[in-house]
Chain A
Amino acid sequence: MAEYKWPDADKRTFIGKRISRIDGPQKVSGRAKYSFDINRPGMLFGKIVRSPYAHAKVKGIDTSAAERMPGVKALHVVSDVGTEIFWAGASVVAVAAVDEPTAEDAMRAIKVEYEVLPHLVIDTDVNNAGEYAKPANENKSGDPDKGFSEAEVTMEGNYGLPVITHCCLEPHGSVMEWDDNNVLAHLSTQAVSGSVAQIARPLEIPATNVRVQQDHIGGGFGSKFGPDEWDITAARLSKKAGGKPVKMFNERDAELMVAGARPSAYAHVKVGLKKDGTITAWESQSWATGGQGGGSSPPLPYIFNIPNQRKQHTALTNHIGSARAWRAPAHPQGCAITMTALEDAAAAIGMDPYDFFMKNIELTGQRANIYADELKIAADLIEWKKNWHARGDRTAGPIKRGLGLSIHTWAGGGHASDCDLTIQPDGSIELKMGTQDLGTGTRTALNIIVADTLGLPMNAVKITIGDSRFPASGGSGGSTTIGGISASSRRASLDALDQIFAKAAPSLDAKPEELEAVGGAIRVKGNPSKSLSWAQACSKLAATPITVRGKNPGPGKLTDQGVGGAQMADVSVDIETGIVRINKIVAVQDCGLIIDLKTAESQVYGALIMGVCWALYEEKIMDAKTGRMLNPNMEFYRLAGIADIGELVVHMMTGKGYDERGVIGLGEPPAVSPGAVISNAVANAIGVRVPYLPLTPDRVLAALEKKGGNNARI
């Protein structure tokens, strides 16, 4: 029996090294096929007529003109007469035609009548939301009245961040093919294995008749966990068109309107503290929205378990496209509100927030030492003690510079994951798994683990993923993929190696447990001269390949959960224009044993850049009167460009104390803090808090005009 653990540091060939992603050549050459790139023989193009109203009832639908158009092959009514519509952009009628221009013409020929109903799309005013506001009960811990009475200083402020949208570059959608009783789905999804049942159920066919394929996905970030209504609609159109494949992907405006919303969060916060920095109490009234389901309730206060709390949260339902998971759901909101309020609290007593965080670090619980270590390293990297100044840059001129900090956490862990590892008698190796590579480097991690375990070069192993016919592996969410897939592939590799050892042992005149796989050979430990090449050893399988099923969960401690990180930002603000520029952001992050340092660092860089986007630019701007999104495009739904991100520094906590924890997910934690660190740095630079993200020039100027801008209107 193999011992299920990770190799010691001195025995790792690829694990933890900087390895280039194995699908890099496919991606840089344009040969990587995304679901959006799939072209099938006889394929039709699907388009959707969408509601222009945020809240309405469908009164009439006339598709007769579209039906008569040459080239139109199928129509499907998604929201029939009488159906209530809850957001602008909701699907009403779908059409499939021989090409995109014909499908567009058909859309325009379809007439829909609506009875327009009252709507709410603005979420900043909870007091005037009426029936849409659903307050929860007050949540109390300790004795908040006593905590505030003991406080020498009480800081009060408003904080918040709006709904933002995922804006995946590959829009949501699929190529659906429903022929006879089988559905072939080329879906853009974060859950290849998990989408099968979600397609079968609404189509009322056995799940065994559904196959999901996806080689590459152009972004998900939490918004692509299964087929959407329009994917199911594409399948129905395919059936109506006699089984012809139908390509149905959102246009960019629809993608931003209906296919992704990170809930907003707003809060009025009170922090009680003593002049020495001791925090005595927390109070918050918060609200959040994310469409009909309301928003998630952010964890407040975030990480710091402040004694004596009083909290009340209100879920606000409104008429925008539904909320979807976004990288570390609820954490960025909880973090942005808490860490900015605590920074304001430190400013209220004239304390350096670094010292303030360190003074209260025990409130972070069992990971306090790690946070402290990470804050120290981050402070060195950004030269905190040299560059920090009390709130408000007093130097002359309009450009003010400031520093901000934050900490964050996330669970990670490893999801359920199965894989099949096949070793052929000629020595060739293939690992099959029904997982997906979101660009996080899943393929590469699998390749590293199998090659490292079998003592072979990377290119000796074939990794095949992205097909629901392979052993099922979990959806890529919650930063659970790397833990799940690395554990199951390690177990499969160790078990397969056991079988090879057993076959090779007689020829080497040794016992199987005396063998090791190193440098392309199976050899006797301590006697490298007694060895077989990998190919010679595999030839002992005679004619029959072996296939080993790897599983997670399983024996041995290969994964863990719970990570932390510290970030610090250095920004410059032009107080005449209100423009914020990032000078530098430092991220210090732990994630247990790192499989591929190169792609791990990329995850953190990417999280910081995504954070710059939502700290400075991103907002789903809704029009109160029409109920429509005003910026459903990429000119006015701005993302950071290559010049907007300053200098980014990533420091991964690795080695002793981290490696032995096993593999822990990384995609989400570093995406939590950027809003807080940038907001804190801006407050430090200009001397007042800009209460609401994104920190657009108008908000910065408004806060400056108000002075003490904490209560400035949005």
Chain B
Amino acid sequence: MQDDDNVKDKGSGLSRRTFLKASGISLSVPLVMGYRVIKVSGAEVKLYGPGKVPLTLSINGKSYNAQVEPRVTLLEALRNELDLTGAKRVCDRGTCGACTMIVDGKAVYSCSTLAIEAQGKSITTVEGLMQGDNLHPVQQAFIDNDAQQCGFCTPGFVVACKAFLDKNPNPTAEQIKKGLGGNTCRCGTYMGVRAAVAQAAQKGGRRNG
């Protein structure tokens, strides 16, 4: 393993360690357990870890606590620590969309988001789309149009479709193809997904905000 601190910053020609020394960092007293605040070039930066830190996440309107290392992704924190397994880990590098969640109103790849960075934000997962026993219109449209086979990509697709319709309530066929290009299905359910998004748009895919 390369020592991260010795990686050269290509832009400046300084190593990160040198850079930190040169910019006169001052370490303050920890404000909240789990991270320290340091000043880097006048700006305050939170420094977590290296061990486990307390984590508080707001998911589907509920508050969850866990202890995770700073390197743990939002996806892994939910799946491994909170047993919220709707979002799936597939590519694990921001390509396939199976892990899609909505964070502060925006669809994100939770495999490429650190859990600690999602604190203080409003997180919606596939588990949060139903209201009681009632399916979200996007979910119902996925069933009606058989937009799923094995179903492993489905939670990410459903969440991506909801986020897409929130921003594009009346999409054209071309917008659907473009807007949902960030999700991959292996069984081949795209025809159903196209029809499902069109149906949900007509029936008010924006329910639940």
Q: Which residues of A pack against B, CB within 8 Å?
A: 20-21, 23-34, 36-37, 39, 45, 99-101, 108, 167-171, 216-219, 221, 251-252, 438-440, 598-599, 601-603, 605-610, 633-635, 639-643, 645, 648
Contacts and interface: CB of A to CB of B under 8 A. Distances in A.
Interface in B68-109: 69, 71-72, 76, 79-80, 83-93, 95-96, 98
Contacts of A100: 72, 76, 80
Contacts of A641: 181, 183-184, 190
B126 interface: yes
A37 B155 CA distance: 13
A88 to B, nearest CB: 19
B186 A610 contact: yes
A32 B194 contact: no
A171 B90 CA distance: 8
Interface stretch (B22-30, B38-46, B139-147): B139-147
Contacts of B176: 642
17 contacts: A20-B144, A29-B86, A30-B84, A31-B86, A37-B79, A100-B80, A216-B151, A217-B150, A602-B192, A605-B192, A609-B188, A610-B186, A610-B187, A634-B90, A641-B184, A642-B193, A645-B191
Given A219-B187, A635-B93, 12 more contacts: A28-B154, A30-B125, A34-B152, A36-B85, A100-B72, A100-B76, A167-B186, A221-B186, A439-B149, A606-B189, A609-B190, A643-B177
A23 B142 CA distance: 12
Contact of B143 (A20, A30, A602, A645): A20
Nearest to A108: B1
A644 to B, nearest CB: 8
A28 B148 CA distance: 8
A218 B93 contact: no
B127 A29 contact: yes
Interface residues of B, number: 59
**SS class of chain B's interface: helix, strand, loop or mixed?**
loop
Contact of B142 (A24, A33, A251): A24
B158 interface: yes
B154 A27 contact: yes
Contacts of A252: 90-93
A440 B149 CA distance: 6
Given A29-B135, A606-B188, A37 B178 contact: no
Given A28-B139, A602-B192, A169 B130 contact: no
Contacts, number: 174
Nearest to A671: B188
B189 to A, nearest CB: 7
A37 B85 contact: yes
Contacts of B98: 169
B96 A30 contact: no
Across chains A and B, which 10 residue pairs bring their CB atoms closest together, nearest first? A30-B86, A609-B188, A218-B152, A606-B188, A439-B150, A439-B149, A27-B151, A37-B85, A30-B126, A24-B143
A28 B135 contact: yes
B55 interface: no
Contacts of B185: 169, 609
B53 interface: no
A648 B143 CA distance: 19
B180 interface: yes
A170 B187 CA distance: 11
Of the listed residues A21, A37, A438, A648, the one surrounded by the most CB atoms of chain B closer than 10 A to its CB is A37
B59 interface: no
Nearest to A43: B80
Of the listed residues A21, A33, A602, the one surrounded by the most CB atoms of chain B closer than 10 A to its CB is A602
Contact of B188 (A20, A251, A598, A608): A608
Contact of A21 (B72, B148, B155, B188): B148
Contact of B96 (A23, A169, A217, A221): A169
Contacts of B95: 633-635
Interface in B124-178: 125-127, 129-130, 135, 139-140, 142-144, 146, 148-155, 158, 176-178
B82 to A, nearest CB: 9
Contacts of A167: 186
Given A25-B135, A169-B152, A169-B153, A219 B144 contact: no
Contact of B146 (A21, A33, A216): A21
A568 B144 CA distance: 28
Contacts of A217: 150
A24 B150 contact: no
Contacts of A439: 148-151, 187
A24 B196 CA distance: 13
Contacts of B76: 100
A581 B135 CA distance: 36
Nearest to A99: B80
A609 B188 CA distance: 5
Contacts of A27: 148, 151, 154-155
Nearest to A45: B80
Given A27-B148, A216-B151, A607 B96 contact: no
A100 B73 CA distance: 11
A610 B188 contact: yes
A29 B80 contact: no
A218 B83 CA distance: 18
A442 to B, nearest CB: 11
